[in-house]
Each structure stands twice: as structure tokens, then as C-alpha cells.
Amino acid sequence: MSILNANALRPKGRSRKKTWQSLFLGLAFISPWIIGFLSLVLYPFGASLYFSFTSYNILSEPQWIGLQNYQTLFADPRWVTSIKNTMYYVLVCVPVGVVLAVALAMVYHQRMPGRNLMRTLMYVPLIVPPVATGILWLWMFKPIGGLFNTVLAWCGIQGPTWLGDPDWAKISLVMIAQWAVGGNVLLLLASLADVPKQLYEAAEIDGATLWHRFWHITLPMISPVVLFITITGLIGAFQAFTEAFIVSGGQGGPADSTLFASLYIYQKAFRDFDMGYASALSWVLFLGILAFTGLTFRLSRKWVVYDRS
């Protein structure tokens, strides 16, 4: 339709030819992406929906079983546990991460000696491979002789067994995730640098307090980036995998307390080769992510300010 409309706007045959030419040229340039999109996004997307209605152990052909996978998953205690774990992780990790990133960005934004070096060092944990991160924190969380409990012992506190305790394991993973907050801080710092100085000067003349200036100028000005890190944080947290895999040896323990949805999907797909069921699980997770990001976008209309003038 759009092609016909565009042609209708062009009166001469020569420009019509040009329209086709440029369309062909444009598609030729983006062809690598088109191939990738069709074969590695669109097809797998549809195929996983199809597989989710089948029983498929990858040795024999997929067999259509209708909604059976979806009925099974509601009664699957490990899936229910993994969803609860994932929700807990998302609802704690994302808000904590966003607030921490904004707070840190405010600190590193201040003029002070050694600012660039400190910003760099704060970013450095993102360079560490997640497998190394997992093993390193496993070592720091060691109940006896670990760094955390040693420091707590100095303060006269008997520390928990962290990753060994079902009540503390998820909190531990939230802490590990915060170690890599530097990427978001970097984005916020770039945004803070762009806030017009006149706004603060005007507010200062009006006698606005530090808190007022933050709440009424800084926060609205950086709100698009806050939304961005919230959305990417949500999508990331829903799919948290590597650190949980490392600290639990791929099991999601202790007592399934770090069994996140993606870890359970991995186990079902690549350990049990139950591809149909795993596909159904991945679709449920996908719909959850879709709902949450959709809701976040909707709510963002109330607090994100796009007009910076």
C-alpha cells in the first residue's frame, strides 16, 4: 500500500523508476540484517510458539499435544518456584539498581579531584567476565573466612551463610548484580552533563533547596534515561542466568532458591531435552516480560519528561 501511495505522489515515470531503484538499493544494503531477522528472529519466534504446543524430545519429530504443556506448567512446582524467584529478583533488583545508579551518578557528577579516575574504576566491574564474577563472589560470600562475614564479625555481627542459605541466596545475587551498576551510572552521567545550567541558577535565585532542585529539575531532565535503564534492567533481570548458574553449579540451589525462570528453561531444554515444554515456559516468561515492559512504558507517561526546552 505504502509503495503505491508513494508512487502516486511522484508524477513522472523517471522518478517512479528512481523510487524502485532506491528501494532496491536500500534493501540491498540492509540485506544482512533482513537475513538475520528472518532466520534468527522471526522464524525462531514462530517456531518456539509452535513447539510450545508439542511434545518434542529432539530425537523424534515434534508431536502436537495442544495446550497440554501450558496445563502442566501451572502444576509444576519447580516452575512455580522459579517464577516466584524471578519475580522477587526483578522487583528487588530493578528498583534498587535504578535508585543506586541515580544516587551514584549524583555523587560522581560533583566536581572533585580525581573524578575521571573514580568514574573509570566504578565502571571496571563490568569488564570482569560474569563467570569470574560469580566465582569471585562465591569466594567473598564464604560463610567462614569469607570477606563479608569477616567484616561483619568486626562489627560483632554473626553473618548469614549467604549463598548457602535459601533465605539469603537471592539477596546475595541482588548484591552481585549491583556491582555492575557502573554502566547505568555512565549513561546517567552523560545525561546529567546535558542539563542546562541556567535552570539551576534560576532555581537558586528562587531559593530552592538542594532536594527541590534534584526533584524538580534534575530528575525530570534525566527521566528518559531513567526509563531506559529501567526497561533494559527489567528485560535483563527477567532473564538473569549466568551468575545464578555459577553460584549454584547450574542447579539453582540451595533448595531451588536461585532457580530463576531462565535457568529452569535451560535445564528443561538442554539437560532434559524437553524442547516442547521448555518452549512453552519461554513463552510464559516472554508474556511476563511483555506485560511488565508494557506497564512500565504506560506508567512512564506520567513521569518521563521528553521536552527539554
Partner 1 sequence: MIAAKGRPSHTQSTAPVNKRRAAGTVLAFLVASLITLSFAVPLYWMLITSVKGDTEVFLTPPTLYPHAVVWENYTKALTNIPFFEYLRNTLVYAIFSSIGSSLSSALVAYGFAKIRWVGREWVFNILLGTMLLPGVVTMIPTYLIFRDLGWTGTLLPLIVPAFFGGAYYIFLMRQFIQTMPDELAEAARIDGCSEFGIFRRIILPLIQPALAVVFLQQFLLAFKDFLGPLIYLNDPSQYTLSLGLQQFQGANGQEWGPLMACATIFTVPLFVLFFFTQRYFVEGVTFSGIKG
Exactly one of 57, 293, 296, 300 binds partner 1 (CB under 8 A); that residue is 293
**Residue 22 is a binding residue for partner 1 (CB under 8 A):** yes
Q: Which stretch binds partner 1 (CB under 8 A): 46-54, 79-87, 89-97, 155-163?
A: 46-54
**Residue 72 is a binding residue for partner 1 (CB under 8 A):** no
Exactly one of 145, 155, 197, 211 binds partner 1 (CB under 8 A); that residue is 145
Q: How far is the CB of 167 from partner 1 (least distance, A)?
A: 23
Exactly one of 161, 218, 262, 267 binds partner 1 (CB under 8 A); that residue is 262
| Dihedral sign for Cα atoms in the order 224, 230, 236, 242 | positive
**Residue 3 is a binding residue for partner 1 (CB under 8 A):** yes
Pick out residues in 94-123 that bind partner 1 (CB under 8 A). 104, 107-108, 110-115, 118, 120-123
Q: Quick one: 108 or 168, whose CB is closer to partner 1? A: 108
Q: How far is the CB of 158 from partner 1 (least distance, A)?
A: 13
d(CA 114, CA 112): 6
Number of residues that bind partner 1 (CB under 8 A): 99
Q: How far is the CB of 166 from partner 1 (least distance, A)?
A: 20
Pick out residues in 186-205 that bind partner 1 (CB under 8 A). 186-187, 190-191, 193-194
Exactly one of 67, 80, 91, 147 binds partner 1 (CB under 8 A); that residue is 147
Exactly one of 217, 221, 254, 296 binds partner 1 (CB under 8 A); that residue is 221
Q: How far is the CB of 295 from partner 1 (least distance, A)?
A: 14
Burial letters for 268-302: b for 16+ Cβ neighbours within 10 Å, e otherwise? bbeeeebbbbbbbbbbbbeebbeebbeeeeeeeee
- Output the 3-class SS for the chain: CHHHHHHHHCCCHHHHHHHHHHHHHHHHHCHHHHHHHHHHHHHHHHHHHHHCCEECCCCCCCEECCCHHHHHHHCCHHHHHHHHHHHHHHHHHHHHHHHHHHHHHHHHHCCCCCHHHHHHHHHHHHHCCHHHHHHHHHHHCCCCCCHHHHHHHHCCCCCCCHHHCCCCHHHHHHHHHHCCCHHHHHHHHHHHHCCCHHHHHHHHHCCCCHHHHHHHHHHHHHHHHHHHHHHHHHHHHHCCCHHHHHHCCCCCCCCCCCCCHHHHHHHHHHHCCCHHHHHHHHHHHHHHHHHHHHHHHHHHHHHCCCCCC
Exactly one of 144, 301, 302, 307 binds partner 1 (CB under 8 A); that residue is 144
Q: How far is the CB of 300 from partner 1 (least distance, A)?
A: 13
Binding mask 222-251 for partner 1 (x = CB under 8 A): xxxx--x--x---x--xx-xx--xx--x--
**Residue 298 is a binding residue for partner 1 (CB under 8 A):** no
**Residue 207 is a binding residue for partner 1 (CB under 8 A):** no
**Residue 45 is a binding residue for partner 1 (CB under 8 A):** yes
